[in-house]
Structure 1
Amino acid sequence: MGLENRIVYDIVDVVEGTCRLKQALIKDKRFENLYLLPAAQTRDKNAVTVEQMSELCDKLRESFDFILIDCPAGIEQGFKNAIAGADRAIVVTNPEVSAVRDADRIIGLLEANEIKDIRLVINRIRQDMVRRGDMMSKQDIIEILAIELLGLVPDDESIIVSTNKGEPAILDSKSSAGQAYKNIAKRILGNDVPLLEVSTDNNIFSKLKKMFGMAK
């Protein structure tokens, strides 16, 4: 988001009472209603408890319509904290077998923690590789994970450029990934936005399913 240089307080400062919640929130100057509450980069991951995270999310709900919690990789304390205040989840995965396997495990943990509204975003998908059969298609992934698809994000080098500049990709009108992010946001708001369609007739995973009689 490019807001790192403006961080004074973080989430640990809030729960420890070092500052008020409003003092830790950083307003994005480009988007009127967007704020960032920074995570602690130099503190122990156990500095915030599940109970404190849940209480903090309840406070944030008083002022915001949507609270996006960026969950760290893995299933340690950071994961437990992230889901403590959540009422739904978006699982982001790459179209690779190992990544989809990890996503399936995360979905199981979310369901075990009574989070039932779980949706899927497939990241870094390449239409050319899907058509050649060298990459898992959205159908392959949905069949394995069995959750609703929220969006497809194409592999786009503009993401690297945006990250290096510290600017959101949605500000780049030529970014296909940026447009995909906008479409995902619209779907979250309840708008009907078509998904990117990719032909999968030659997909190796589809061929394997046909060979073993798994194709529907």
Structure 2
Amino acid sequence: MSEIYVITSGKGGVGKTTTTANLGMGLAMRGKKVVLVDTDTGLRNLDLMLGLENRIMYDLIDVTEGRVAFKKALVRHKKYENLFLLPTSQVKDKMSVNPEQLVKLCDELRREFDYILIDCPAGIEQGFKTAIAAADTALVVTMPEIAAVRDADKIIGELGRADKENIKLIVNRIRPSMVESGEMLDMDDINDILSLDCIGQVPDDIKVVTAANKGEPCVASDDSQAGQAYRNIVSRMLGEDVPFMDFHKEGWWTRLKHMFRR
């Protein structure tokens, strides 16, 4: 059975699109047939992350409005033949696709792909409601900062109201030295605030930036600590029991968790 994941966040800039690109490529590296659907209409970046920006002819809006079949809009990755991108429009807005259209499209994609990963716009507006409509599982990306965790808490509440029960957490851009000094939340704090099953802990890594600028997600890099973290998340998505990387110690900000209890 095909699985549909939506990758979402309450706050922009936490690495949601980077996560989508890395997990998609990671699954393709494991032999899965994967399509990444960019629903961040008007602000697409997934094509840049994958180095496919110059190969786009049609987009998500062309498909949902019936101008072309989805297969015609798909862009195959240059290196991984089982990895595809369905880009969205740069000029339309997020109201251009509705939940019913995306659900219908994903039903068609299920017949062709093992994994469908939907890159969701940040926030809780109409674009978010559209992106989550077809998802079997939601991956909420946050950072170990108060504002990001608070926004993630709000997103989790919205997912619950939309009857999305399978929700996993990915904590991105962890800086161990800041965790140890108490300047950044540790995982115990985040777990107590969000009460959500964590599937991934990704350290802050300059190679994420350099890889993205080259259109080559760091998941394919053996010398990237973040790349290893993304590969571990992929293994967990495939049902494997993989321990978390040991790159941080217990922090001291537990008093802050009481501010965010739902």
User: Which of 60, 66, 70 is matched with 1:11 structurally?
Assistant: 60
Match of 2:188 in 1: 139
Number of equivalences: 207
List per-residue Cα deviations over 1:80-122 (Å, max 9, x = no partner).
Answer: 1110111110000010001000000000000110100000000
Matches within 5 A, 1:117-132: 117-132=166-181
How far is the alpha carbon of 1:29 from its aligned partner? 2.2
Q: Percent of aligned positions with the same letter in both sequences?
A: 52
Match of 1:25 in 2: 74
Match of 1:205 in 2: 253
Give the gaps of 5 or more residues in structure 2. Answer: 1-49
Question: More relative contact order in 1 or in 2 (CA 8 Å, sep 6+)?
Answer: 2
Give the 3-state SS of the residue equivalent to 2:240 in structure 1. Answer: coil
Instruction: Say whether 1:181 aligns with 2:234.
Output: no
The amino acid across from 1:142 in the alignment is N
**Highest Rg: 1 or 2?**
1
TM-score between both structures, scaled by the size of structure 1: 0.92
Instruction: Say whether 1:90 aligns with 2:133.
Output: no
List per-residue Cα deviations over 1:120-169 (Å, max 9, x = no partner).
Answer: 00000011111122110011101110110001000000111011111111
C-alpha separation in 1, matches of 2:81 and 2:199: 25
Matches within 5 A, 1:41-56: 41-56=90-105
Give the 3-state SS of the residue equivalent to 1:67 in structure 2. Answer: strand
List per-residue Cα deviations over 1:6-53 (Å, max 9, x = no partner).
Answer: 111000000111111101111112223111000112112211111101
The amino acid across from 1:205 in the alignment is W
List per-residue Cα deviations over 1:194-214 (Å, max 9, x = no partner).
Answer: 1123221xx2314x47xx9xx
Instruction: Say whether 1:154 aligns with 2:203.
Output: yes
Match of 1:64 in 2: 113
Give the 3-state SS of the residue equivalent to 1:68 in structure 2. Answer: strand
Give the 3-state SS of the residue equivalent to 2:168 in structure 1. Answer: strand
TM-score between both structures, scaled by the size of structure 2: 0.76
Provide the aligned C-alpha RMSD in A: 1.3
Give the gaps of 5 or more residues in structure 1. Answer: none
